[in-house]
Amino acid sequence: MLALCLYIFLVLSNSCVLVSSLNSEGIALWSFKKGIGQDPEGSLNNWNYSDETPCSWNGITCKDFKVVSVSIPKKKLTGFVSSTLGSLSELRHVNLRSNLFSGSLPVELFKVQGLQSLVLYGNLFSGVIPFEVGRLNYLQTLDLSQNFLNGSFPVSLLQCKRLKVLDLSQNNFTGFLPEGFGGNLTALEKLDLGFNKFEGPIPSDLGNLSNLQGTVDLSHNMFSGSIPASLGNLPEKVYIDLTYNNLSGPIPQNGALINRGPTAFIGNLGLCGPPLKNPCSAQSEASSPESEPFLPNNSPLDGVGNDGNAKGLSRGAVIAIIVGDVVGICVIGLLFSYCYSRICACGRKKDESGFGFQKGGKGRKECLCFRKDESETLSENIEQYDLVALDNQVAFDLDELLKASAFVLGKSGIGIVYKVVLEDGLNLAVRRLGEGGSQRFKEFQTEVEAIGKLRHQNLVTLRAYYWSVDEKLLIYDFIPNGNLATAIHGKPGMVSFTPLSWSIRLKIMKGTAKGLVYLHEYSPKKYVHGDLKPSNILLGHDMEPKISDFGLGRLANIAGASPTLHSNHMASEKPQQSKQGSALSEAATTVTSTTTSGSCYQAPEALKVVKPSQKWDVYSYGVILLEMITGRTPVIQVGSSEMDLVNWIHWCIEEKKPLSDVLDPYLAQDADKEEEMIAVLKIAMACVHSSPERRPSMRHISDTLERLPASSH
């Protein structure tokens, strides 16, 4: 009898265990939790496998014991989103915004037919939007902004006719918007496609979206062609942002487009007409009969009188024109004769400073000098004999520059760099491009003045330049705290070395990213730096980063300095005060250069003969991030062999090395910021992807970094 009772007790106990075990939806969410790498705030601590259902778990909402909502925003969660979420048959809402999830969007999630809102903005998701999104017939909100998603706009999305909110901004989407965009998504109340790479014409049926509110953002894309007049059919309170595209032609003046300020259209060089100050040409306005200019009957441009006869000039007017022409020719002849005598009177001579360019006193009048055998190609061989300022803040001249004290900072493959201290205490950096004989002055002038117009807090400013056949100088702001390479690793002979804290490193990462975003997207020529590395990221008074040397390779090539673009021959900084006058020339002989592996910062495709790409800079930036996180040099000794930093990181991942083996030991004091370091490490790994197309843009990198708080210690 006792044995029988014990048997019944055990059976009942097992039954209780079975009844209290986690149901299938809880198991699906448990798999989701297993895919999360970091939960620094303990957001999922009450997710227990011993519970019967997940309905009491943080972020989970149930109805009739079925999960209808998963909402875990702003918790700094890392990892990937498990496909098991797709097995939650009654799921209606998913909100994982502002975390650090990465990887692709799980296709299974887009098969939950009852899904009404999917909010994933502010993560690190990559890849394409699954075609299965078209199955979500009840979808009302789709917000995938601020990620690294790419590919084209999914045509199947047009089947989501209940969609009210569509935000795909700040990704890497490309291609045309599909036909029927405005005809199918008529329920839309919010539309934001800004900061992508969409191209082609703006769909003409976009004006059918009569329920839109707020701002329709199509900015910072590559839309081309004219602005459809149908956009004027949108509600008048809607603000249409078309800035920074490739749009052209007159701006339609109807409906919602009327009375918009110029700020809605800037960055489209081909647009014309009000509200812009750029008037349309007759050709561009030919299709608009209201655009014909009004000329009064007595206009001097009107060649035909009211009687239909051609109007002629009066006899007095003809005589006045002839006399004026004769006087003008005489004046020009006298001026030419005077200038010719001045030109022939002046001679070329080497200046006592040793630079080899002509120099006179303040207030002097210069004349252009050239050799007789150059007279047939003057436009190619004109020499510039004065300092050319590139902004109105330059308050020094060539004489002051030459009389200043000079210190050698270093020597690279593109000339010697000096620190120059003027008499008034102003510090400048002067790069001497050498004594190449190239005389392509006009080309040099165009390029250097374009660079001189670039203004950003994270770029070194080019203030002035000097050109002669024998000498070319570039004058920059002097940046006081050295370069990032020295800040990370120190340098030989340094007595004391203070490692950078995580907060300073993050500040440098963010600032450098912002500088590259400006070069890539907002500079007039959308520059590619092409040679980014820690030695040309300089550090200002507050350790703010300043990118230097952009455009330098081309300038050196024009100047005949035979640049080695990807070399990293930077001399140790051993400032030596030189004598006035001949300082720059004498100090150059004291420099000895050391070589490091600058090629480690090059993207793999840069080794081929291809046009430089912005994705080259992204790769270089990724290597710099790895260097700042690990504290390692670009070339690492592993056993008896050497390995570059990118391959070393991949090796550590394959060998499953602990994170402590990867991070810079100096960062141990910032252990509480480990999740931020992991996030940056993931960004770096995306940057150094072997395929350029898979690398994010600098703008998306910058936006992601900005979501990481800058700590202060």
DSSP secondary structure of 496-564:
---PPPHHHHHHHHHHHHHHHHIIIIISTT--------GGGEEE-TTS-EEE--TTHHHHHHHHT----
- Asked if residue 18 is part of any domain, the answer here is no
Residue 81 lies in a domain: yes
Least confident of 349-358, 625-634, 683-692: 349-358
CA distance 414 to 567: 9
Contact between 547 and 537 under an 8 Å Cβ cutoff? The reply is yes
Q: Which residue has the tokens 């079925």?
A: 66
Query: Which residue do the tokens 């306005």 mark?
Result: 285
Residue 171 resides in a domain: yes
- Predicted confidence band of residue 409 (pLDDT cuts 50, 70, 90): confident
Q: Please name which of 469, 474, 476, 475 lies closest in space to residue 560, comparing C-alpha atoms.
A: 469
pLDDT bucket at 527, cuts 50 / 70 / 90: confident
pLDDT of residue 532: 93
Cis link prior to 275 (omega < 30° from 0)? yes
Known catalytic membership, residue 399: no
557 vs 447: CA distance, rounded Å: 11
Residue for token digits 């519970």? Answer: 51
Does residue 72 lie in a domain region?
Answer: yes
The CA–CA distances, whole Å, from 122 to 80, 459, 706, 707 equal 14, 27, 11, 8
Residue type at 272 in one-letter notation: C
User: Could you identify the residue written with the tokens 């004219």?
Assistant: 226
Tokens of 57: 């778990």
Catalytic residue among 192, 205, 531, 549: 531
Q: Label each residue of 107-135 as H, E or C.
A: HHHHHCCCCCEEECCCCEEEECCCHHHHH
Q: How far apart are CA 547 and CA 461, in angstroms?
A: 9
pLDDT attached to residue 278: 81
Question: Picking from 203-212, 259-268, 479-488, 526-535, which range would have the lowest pLDDT averaged per residue?
Answer: 259-268
Contact between 473 and 396 under an 8 Å Cβ cutoff? The reply is no
For 148, the domain range is 60-272
CB 515 within 8 Å of CB 458: yes
Please count the residues of the chain: 713
In a domain, 94, yes or no: yes
Residue of 702, 708, 697, 517 whose CA lies nearest to 126: 697
Backbone angles phi, psi at 596, to 5 degrees: -125, 175
pLDDT on residue 611? 78
Q: How far is CA 138 from CA 135, 155, 161, 350, 510, in A?
A: 9, 17, 8, 81, 40
Encoding tokens for residue 671?
């252990």
Mean pLDDT along residues 309-330: 50
Q: How many domains does the chain have?
A: 1
Instruction: For residue 457, give the 3-state DSSP assignment.
Output: coil
Q: How far apart are CA 532 and CA 546, in angstroms?
A: 12
- Cα–Cα distances (Å) from 46 to 95, 98, 273, in that order, read 19, 21, 62
Mean pLDDT, range 98-116, rounded to an integer = 92
Least confident of 332-336, 347-351, 527-531: 347-351
Residue 383's pLDDT is 46
SS3 690: coil
- pTM of structure: 0.54
What does the buried/exposed string (b/e) look like for 674-704 if buried means 16 or more CB atoms within 10 Å of the residue's CB? bbbbbbbbbbbbbbbbeebeebbbbbbbbbb
Spatial contact of 279 and 303, defined as CB atoms under 8 Å apart: no
Contact 534, 488 (CB under 8 A): yes
Percent with pLDDT over 70 in the chain: 74
Please give the single-letter amino acid code of residue 618: V
What is the strand order of the sheet 472-477 is part of?
A: 388-389, 462-467, 472-477, 427-432, 415-421, 405-412
pLDDT for 163 equals 96
Is pLDDT above 80 for 410?
Answer: no
Nearest of 620, 354, 327, 305 to residue 470 by alpha carbon: 354
Q: What are phi and psi of 320, to 5 degrees?
A: -65, -40
Is residue 580, in this structure, part of any structural domain at all? no
pLDDT confidence tier of residue 626, bands split at 50, 70 and 90: very high
**Rounded-to-integer distance, Cα 36 and Cα 688, Å:** 24
Amino acid at 596: T
Q: Would you call 470 exposed, middle or buried from its count of C-beta atoms within 10 A (0-12, 13-18, 19+)?
A: middle
Note the pLDDT of residue 322.
Answer: 53
Partnered with residue 141 across adjacent β-strands are 117, 165
* C-alpha pair distances (Å), 60 with each of 88, 136, 571: 12, 21, 60
Q: Can you state the angle between helices 614-630 and 698-706, rounded to 10 degrees?
A: 40
Judge whether residue 344 has pLDDT over 70.
no
Is it the case that residue 142 has pLDDT exceeding 90? Answer: yes
End-to-end CA distance of the chain: 72
pLDDT of residue 225: 94
Distance of CA 47 to the CA centre of its chain: 41
Does the pLDDT at position 366 exceed 70?
Answer: no
Largest pairwise CA distance in the chain:
141
Classify residue 148: in a domain, yes or no.
Answer: yes
Measured between alpha carbons, how far is 540 from 456 in angstroms, rounded to an integer?
13
Categorize the per-residue pLDDT at 370 as very low, low, confident or very high, splitting at 50, 70 and 90: very low
Averaged pLDDT, 62-81: 92
Q: Is residue 67 part of a domain?
A: yes
* pLDDT tens column, 572-586: 333 333 333 323 333
Sign for the pseudo-dihedral over CA of 302, 308, 313, 314: negative
User: Span 654-682, mean pLDDT?
Assistant: 87
Is the pLDDT at 358 greater than 70, yes or no?
A: no
What does R_g of the chain's alpha carbons equal in angstroms? 33
Place 339 in a pLDDT band, splitting at 50, 70 and 90: very low
* DSSP H or E run through 184: helix 181-184
311 pLDDT above the threshold of 80: no
Range among 217-226, 406-415, 494-503, 595-604 rated most confident = 217-226
What is the pLDDT, as a whole number, of residue 561? Answer: 57
Residue 697 dihedral angles phi and psi, to the nearest 5°: -80, 160
Q: β-pairing, 60-63 with 66-71?
A: antiparallel
CATH classification of the domain holding 256: 3.80.10.10
Structure tokens, 370: 């050239």
pLDDT confidence bin for 494, thresholds 50/70/90: low
Q: Assign 259 a pLDDT band (cuts: 50, 70, 90).
A: low
* Confidence at residue 425, expressed as pLDDT on a 0 to 100 scale: 78
- Which of helix, strand or coil describes residue 142? strand
Neighbour tally for 247: CB within 10 Å: 24
Q: Which residues pair with 102 in a beta bridge?
A: 124
CA–CA separation, 228 vs 230, rounded Å? 5
Which H or E run includes 418? strand 415-421
From residue 1, alpha-carbon distances to 12, 13, 311 in Å are 17, 18, 133
Higher-confidence residue of 64 and 383: namely: 64
